[in-house]
Structure 1
Amino acid sequence: MPQAHEYAVDIEQLTIHRGGREVLHEVDLTIPRGAITGLLGPSGCGKTTLIRAIVGTQVVRSGTVTVLGAPAGSTALRSKVGYVTQSPSVYLDLTVRENVQYFGAMYGRRAPAVNAAIDSVGLTNWASSRAGQLSGGQLGRVSLASALVAEPELLVLDEPTVGLDPVLRAELWSRFADIAAGGTTIVVSSHVMEEAEHCSSLILMREGSVLAQLSPDELLTRTNETNLEHAFLTLIESTQITGAQ
């Protein structure tokens, strides 16, 4: 069996309470290094809470979350973990380059790293534009560049494609593939099952629990389906039947 340090993320028996209720129930999972892992499930199933636990901003009731060989939230992880929230985290009165420079300065990154981060998300032609003049999709890419400039080993993206048109979604997934090919581990949450086909491995969630962790092909084979959305629904139904017995 692989050791914990061989995983980007290793979670054991994670339980989290929020607002007086248990939102994650004894979650066990591992996330491989250097690949794209999709965290998928309906809205409200606990994806964002799980992400917050991974990046170290969530109070954990019980269980362990190990990230890159260290406890989640450790000081040593600050320059190794990039986190992009659902809402773009940018300064609207600054240009694209100024935003990325600001975040890059926190990690001692200079102009070459700033330019590389901007180019990696396809915003080189807008580098001198103020963020407040950009579209919603472009703002999301500024947030992504601001996380990439630190050159993190692990990049965590919470619903990065929500509200984007199909062309922009395809372009962004292409960027994610390029980033992962460079050795960065990526975790992407989504409630759109069709995006699962872009991932090497999947973590499927429902009502605060992990239903399965497998590849897209394994999901189709396990459920005898040809469509990933149908496969997820079949998995839910089979789990409910098993649980009722």
Structure 2
Amino acid sequence: MTNPPNNAAAGRASAAGPVITCQQLTKRFGDFVAVNGISFEVAAGEIFGFLGANGAGKTTAMRMLCGLLGPTEGAATVAGCDVFREPERIKQHIGYMSQKFSLYEDLTVRENIRFYGGVYGLKTAAIREKTTALLQRLGLAAERDTLVGSLPLGWKQKLAFSVALLHEPAVIFLDEPTGGVDPITRRQFWDLIYEAAARGVTIFITTHYMDEAEYCDRVSIMVDGRIDALDTPAGLKRQFGVASMDEVFLHLARGAKNVE
């Protein structure tokens, strides 16, 4: 994966205003500051890379933005919902996919779609309609009664991403979604990301693959709970006078104290 997918294009981000806002968002656990006053905005349809070494604080920050962990101080909104006052509302407006794909392997493809449709509050008729459309789009109609655990890894990945978008959320959080898959499958997955962004879905993604950072509209890099850099991939490479995002990341990560 040395080049972005064919449908990559700059300037997808909408001018309608930010979908995610953070102002001095902070999380403390006792005397330990896991997230230290981070501030940024993410626009509709933007692909925002949220990078950092293990222990940098990115997982804690993502959990706050998903409404799963209460902040200590600061302010943040996701899809117009306040992370302090409306964490449950946030969950109605976001999708989430982790490296584990968030699917039940002992359920069939169709059962997984039906289950998550119910979790997202969709009506039975809508679930039925979306299931048919999703299976056709992914080419999985013949596998609808196949247990997810027996599917190839790439199919699981595409299904999990599509299920996370079933309720048409404003934002989808992707937590290292391409870990462990081959380069061809990763490229195909990024095609799905670009298609979703083109429809106006905001993509908030963490990854350890620095070539994937090149595919993002903008990238932030956390070090010891702070955001130490935030710009386009091209802008970051110019700022640090290097040729790749690998070198940008290494330059910043060398000084980190909280590395697992």
TM-score range, shorter chain: 0.7 to 0.9
Match of 2:113 in 1: 100
**1-structure distance, mates of 2:38, 2:117:** 34
Please give the per-residue CA displacement for 1:36-70, whole angstroms capped at 9, x wherever unaligned: 11111212211211111111001211111211222
**Residue segments in structure 1 that go unaligned for 5+ positions in a row:** 241-245
Distance 1:97 1:11 in 2: 37
Across the aligned residues of Structure 1 and Structure 2, the Cα RMSD in angstroms comes to: 2.2
2:151 aligned partner? 134
Shift of 1:232: 2.8
The answer to whether residue 23 in structure 2 is matched with residue 23 in structure 1 is no
Matched, 1:77 2:90: yes
Task: Say if 2:154 and 2:185, in contact at 8 Å, map to a contact too.
Answer: yes
TM-score by length of 1: 0.86
Which of residues 47, 52, 69 is equivalent to 1:58? Answer: 69
Corresponding position of 2:10: none
Partner residue in 1 for 2:9: none
**CA-CA distance at 1:89 after TM superposition:** 2.1
Could you tell me how far apart the structure 2 residues matched to 1:118 and 1:70 are?
Answer: 32
- Bigger drift between 176-185 and 65-74 goes to 65-74
TM alignment of 1:31-180, pairs within 5 A: 31-72=42-83, 73-105=86-118, 106-108=121-123, 109-118=126-135, 123-180=140-197
Name the SS of the counterpart of 2:69 in structure 1: coil
Question: Would you say the 8 A contact 1:159–1:190 is kept in 2?
Answer: yes
Q: Cα offset for 1:144?
A: 1.9
Give the secondary-structure state (helix, strand or coil) at the position aligned to 1:78: helix
* Higher normalized helix content (fraction of residues): 1
2:214 to 189, 197, 203: 197
More divergent stretch after superposition (160-169 vs 17-26): 17-26
Structure 2 counterpart of 1:11, from 19, 22, 35: 22
Give % identity.
31
What amino acid maps onto 1:210 in structure 2? I
What is the CA–CA distance in structure 1 between the aligned matches of 2:155 and 2:29, rounded to whole Å? 32
Q: CA separation in 2, counterparts of 1:6 and 1:175? A: 24
Pair 1:76–1:59, CA change in 2 (3 A): closer
Q: Note if contact 1:40-1:193 (Cα within 8 Å) is conserved in structure 2.
A: no
- Change in CA separation of 1:149 and 1:60 when aligned onto 2, cut-off 3 Å: same
Change (3 A) 1:101 1:122: same
Alignment gaps of 5+ in structure 2: 1-15, 256-260
**Alignment check: 8 A CA contact 2:67 2:91 kept:** no
Q: For the Cα contact (< 8 Å) 2:108–2:147, is it kept in 1?
A: yes
Q: Is structure 2 residue 198 aligned with structure 1 residue 181?
A: yes
8 A Cα contact 2:213 2:245, kept in partner = yes
Which letter does structure 1 place at the counterpart of 2:68?
Answer: T
Q: Distance in 1 between matches of 2:76 and 2:58?
A: 15
1:126 Cα offset (Å): 3.2
> SS at the partner of 1:24?
strand
Write the distance in 2 (CA, Å) between the matches of 1:32 and 1:149: 21
Task: Kindly provide the CA deviation profile for residues 61-93 of structure 1, in whole angstroms up to 9, marking residues without a partner as x.
Answer: 111121122213444433321111332322222
**Structure 1 position 140, deviation (Å):** 3.3
Aligned residues between the structures: 234
Question: Following TM superposition, by how much is the alpha carbon of 1:130 offset from its aligned partner in structure 2, in angstroms?
Answer: 0.8
Distance 1:198 1:122 in 2: 26
**Contact 2:223–2:252 at 8 Å: present in 1 too?**
no
Q: Partners of 1:121 and 1:15 in 2: how far apart? A: 40
